[in-house]
Amino acid sequence: MKKSEAGKETLCRRLNPGLSGRIAVTVLAVASVAFLPAVTVAQGVAGDAAAGKAKAAVCAACHGPAGVSVNPAWPSLAGQQPVYLAKQIRLFRDGVRVEPTMQPFVQNLSDEDIDDIAAYYAELSPCP
């Protein structure tokens, strides 16, 4: 590094001592965003969205053909996090979360079916 460049770097640090800390925070934020997809898979939701589309056909009656419900009584599923969706569907299936209209549709779903459906809805846009 040239002497003039070293002087600029020193001056920059004196004028803005938190700069290196902000750079570290920025690098950490970028690294953690890059890591998020691996976390989702590690948490057990590695579903096949294409398979989920076929399995979710019956869901469209209430949750909309593109996962956006027109009835406020039924939630929109499009764009939801797959971990959240899979957890909620499992809670319905296992009877922990009781909703009489949901039980018949989820009671026979396997964990793979649930992961596929969650992956499908997670890929859809929540904006109609």
Cβ contact 77:63 at 8 Å: yes
Contacting residues for 12 by C-beta, under 8 A, at least 6 apart = 19
The domain 49-123 having CATH identifier 3.90.230.10: the answer here is no
Nearest C-alpha neighbor of 39 from the set 4, 10, 81: 81
What gap in Å lies between CA 80 and CA 67, rounded to an integer?
10
Pick the closest to residue 93 from 114, 74, 122, 72 (CA basis): 114
The pLDDT of residue 1: 54
pLDDT at 95: 96
Q: Residue 95 corresponds to which tokens in the numbers above?
A: 């009877």
Non-local CB neighbours of 117 within 8 Å, separated by 6+ positions:
47, 52, 55, 56, 59, 85, 86, 89, 109
Check residue 22 and give its pLDDT.
Answer: 42
C-alpha 70/C-alpha 100 separation (Å) is 20
pLDDT tens for the chain, 128 residues long, are 555 555 544 444 454 444 444 443 333 344 444 444 433 443 557 899 999 999 999 999 999 999 999 999 999 999 999 999 999 999 999 999 999 999 999 999 999 999 999 999 999 999 87
Domain boundaries, the chain: 3-42, 49-123
Q: What is the pTM of this model?
A: 0.65
**pLDDT of 127:** 86
pLDDT of residue 16: 43
Residue 44 has a pLDDT of: 54
